[in-house]
């Protein structure tokens, strides 16, 4: 059971790294985007609001933390927790802007022309969240599957000590089963009796 709990760190390294990079984008782009006329609401950079906290910063923290866990975790349940945390943050990027309208949450209108506004909507929220969710799902799938090498390692750990011993140790019980040692002892005892009889 212990062997199946372990997983190689390389299994979630790439997905975790990409999730961290995307989380940095999702958390910082609302503040630095206005430098390039790319954003929502105000054209001034580094403008903080509660709506940006809820819709961009918090989900970015969840995705980034989940990605870090995937990068360093060598324990399967821990890695799965990181994957689910990243997936929940990604899901909020997708639906948060729509759900936020229920409490009149608004980050303002997208800047620029029609094509730019579509690009901003996708790269800030829905499209960004979809890519994050895909990477999270791939990482979860990799950690949910137990590799052949891990299964063999777990099987070796479950075996008794005698079964894990080498051939030089397993040969003794096999010979005892065939009665070789009993015959040898009988012959040795008979030889010793004849030697004592000859001396007398």
Give yes or no for a contact between 20 and 68, defined as CB atoms under 8 angstroms apart.
yes
Distances (CA, A) of 39 to 47, 118, 128: 11, 11, 14
Gap between the Cα atoms of 187 and 172, Å rounded: 19
SS3 166: coil
Q: Tell me the whole-structure pTM to 2 decimals.
A: 0.71
d(CA 196, CA 200): 6
Condensed to tens digits (0 to 9), the pLDDT of residues 104-150 reads 777 778 888 889 999 999 999 999 999 999 999 999 988 887 654 55
Tens digits of residue pLDDT in 152-162: 554 555 555 44
Question: Cα separations (Å) of 112 from 20, 30, 39, 40, 75?
Answer: 28, 15, 9, 9, 46
């Amino acid at each position: 059971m212990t062997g199946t709990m372990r997983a190689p760190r390389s299994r979630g390294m790439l997905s975790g790294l990409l999730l961290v990079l995307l989380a940095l984008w999702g958390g910082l782009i609302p503040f630095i985007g206005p430098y390039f006329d790319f954003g929502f609401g105000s054209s001034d950079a580094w403008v903080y609001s509660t709506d940006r906290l809820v819709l961009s910063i918090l989900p970015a923290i969840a995705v980034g933390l989940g990605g870090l866990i995937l990068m360093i975790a060598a324990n399967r349940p821990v890695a799965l927790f990181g994957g689910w945390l990243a997936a929940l943050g990604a899901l909020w990027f997708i639906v948060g802007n729509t759900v936020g309208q229920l409490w009149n949450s608004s980050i303002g209108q997208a800047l620029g022309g029609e094509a730019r506004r579509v690009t901003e909507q996708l790269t800030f929220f829905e499209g960004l969240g979809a890519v994050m969710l895909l990477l999270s799902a791939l990482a979860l799938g990799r950690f949910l599957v137990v590799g052949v090498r891990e299964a063999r390692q777990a099987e070796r750990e479950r075996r008794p000590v005698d079964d894990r011993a080498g051939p030089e140790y397993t040969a003794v019980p096999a010979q005892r089963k065939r009665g070789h040692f009993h015959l040898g002892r009988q012959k040795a005892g008979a030889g010793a009796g004849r030697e004592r009889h000859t001396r007398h």
